[in-house]
Amino acid sequence: MKTIDQMHNHVIKKSVEDLQFRDALLADPRGVVSSELGIDFPEDVQFHVHESDMKTIQIALPPRAEMTEEQLEAVAAGLSCGF
């Protein structure tokens, strides 16, 4: 099983190397990520993909503490996003 960091890095690397993949990822992030990683995400999981520039700093915060102990352990271990 790949960790969430490994999956994230795979998608980022491919988006840099393959411009058609990048365009598809921007147009349909859920479909492209699901297909690329072979994962069916729950409908309530949202995807936000955007292109960075050199003048913007983006910070992704972890989920709030409303997660179960099991979900927190999985996130801490790098195994899951909590779903």
* pLDDT tens profile 22-44: 999 999 999 999 999 999 988 88
With respect to residue 81, please indicate whether it lies within any of the assigned structural domains.
no
- d(CA 57, CA 60) in angstroms, rounded, equals 10
Instruction: Provide the number of structural domains found in the chain.
Output: 1
pTM, two decimal places = 0.69
- CB neighbour list of residue 63: distance below 8 Å, 6 or more residues apart: 71, 75, 81, 82
With respect to residue 67, please indicate whether it lies within any of the assigned structural domains.
yes
- What is the pLDDT of the chain when averaged over all its residues? 84
pLDDT digits (tens, 9 = 90+) for 37-73: 999 988 888 999 988 888 988 888 877 767 677 776 7
Which domain covers residue 67, as residue numbers? Answer: 4-51+59-76
With respect to residue 82, please indicate whether it lies within any of the assigned structural domains.
no
With respect to residue 83, please indicate whether it lies within any of the assigned structural domains.
no
- d(CA 4, CA 65) in angstroms, rounded, equals 19
pLDDT value for 19: 97
With respect to residue 42, please indicate whether it lies within any of the assigned structural domains.
yes
Q: Using 50, 70 and 90 to split pLDDT, how confident is the model at 76?
A: low
